[in-house]
Amino acid sequence: MTLSYEMSLGNYSDFYLTIKGELKTENVFGTVSEVQILDRFLKENLISNEFHKLNLQRCIRWDKENMNKDLFISMFISSLLISLIYYYFVHENKYILFKYCIYIYILIVYYLSFKYFQLIIKNV
């Protein structure tokens, strides 16, 4: 028996949290993408090939947005921590070359966090 789109949608909404929980327990790092969830549904024959094909691009876009948000948050927090550590512990260093290297490093980290923020705003 082949699954219709409506049956696939019902299965997807009914078993989404269950499949996501199973994947989280299997994954060591705890990161589960929407594409992995969709593929698991297809593997267990809970959705049809048509449903998988129609929702694959949406899941890829959703995963990309989540990745950009995670990268922005991690880069922003690391740039703040590096700035605070430098200001409180290293800013009176007598090594000029080290100071300039730290400034360049901090600027690069802030720049990367700004670029990820722009990607979040544009919804790329």
List, for residues 11-70, the tens digit of each pLDDT value: 999 999 999 999 989 887 778 899 999 999 999 999 999 999 999 999 999 999 888 888
As a whole number of angstroms, the distance between CA 122 and CA 62 comes to 13
Residue 38 φ then ψ, to 5°: -65, -40
* Cβ–Cβ under 8 Å, residues 26 and 37: no
Alpha helices, H only, the chain: 5-26, 34-43, 49-85, 96-122
Distance CA 5, CA 86 (A): 56
Q: Tell me what pLDDT residue 59 has.
A: 94
Tell me how far apart the alpha carbons of residues 109 and 80 are, in angstroms, rounded to a whole number.
9
Task: For residue 54, give its domain range.
Answer: 5-122
DSSP letter, residue 4: P
What is the model's pLDDT at position 54?
A: 93
For residue 101, pLDDT over 90 is answered with no
**Domain count of the fold of the chain:** 1
pLDDT mean over 69-79: 86
